[in-house]
């Protein structure tokens, strides 16, 4: 017998789950496109983004391209790839 229980993930999402699986479906949905996005950029750029706490696609969309270029590890060569990857997910960089 399984009962659906209300859970709250560390980020405050409320969701119902059966069984013991602790994965929050809302966090998963946010993380998935971001993981795709990161595939387009190199490891130094990825670390730069993560060091700024940019861990969802929503956050790069808050930055302008100039802001991103200030991050160590992110060169102008990464920008077209990032722009395209964001666009595919329905986001874009902040207009500077």
Q: Which is nearer to Zn ion, 17 or 40 (CB)?
A: 17
**In angstroms, what is the minimal distance from the CB of 86 to Zn ion?**
22
Q: Which is nearer to Zn ion, 53 or 76 (CB)?
A: 53
**In angstroms, what is the minimal distance from the CB of 6 to Zn ion?**
13
Nearest CA to 81 out of 38, 35, 30 is that of 38
Residues of the shown chain interacting with Zn ion in the complex, contacts defined by CB under 5 A: 9, 11, 13, 24, 26-27
Q: Annotate 63-78 with b (16+ C-beta within 10 A) or e (fewer).
A: bebeebeebeebeeeb
**In angstroms, what is the minimal distance from the CB of 56 to Zn ion?**
11
Q: Which is nearer to Zn ion, 29 or 87 (CB)?
A: 29
């Amino acid at each position: 017998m399984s009962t659906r229980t209300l859970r709250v993930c560390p980020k405050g999402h409320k969701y119902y789950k059966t069984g013991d699986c602790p994965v929050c479906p809302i966090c998963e949905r946010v993380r998935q496109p971001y993981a795709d996005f990161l595939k387009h950029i190199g490891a130094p750029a990825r670390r730069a983004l993560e060091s700024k706490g940019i861990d969802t696609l929503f956050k790069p969309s808050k930055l302008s391209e100039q802001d991103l270029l200030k991050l160590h590890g992110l060169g102008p060569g990464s920008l077209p790839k990032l722009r395209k990857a964001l666009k595919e997910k329905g986001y874009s960089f902040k207009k500077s």
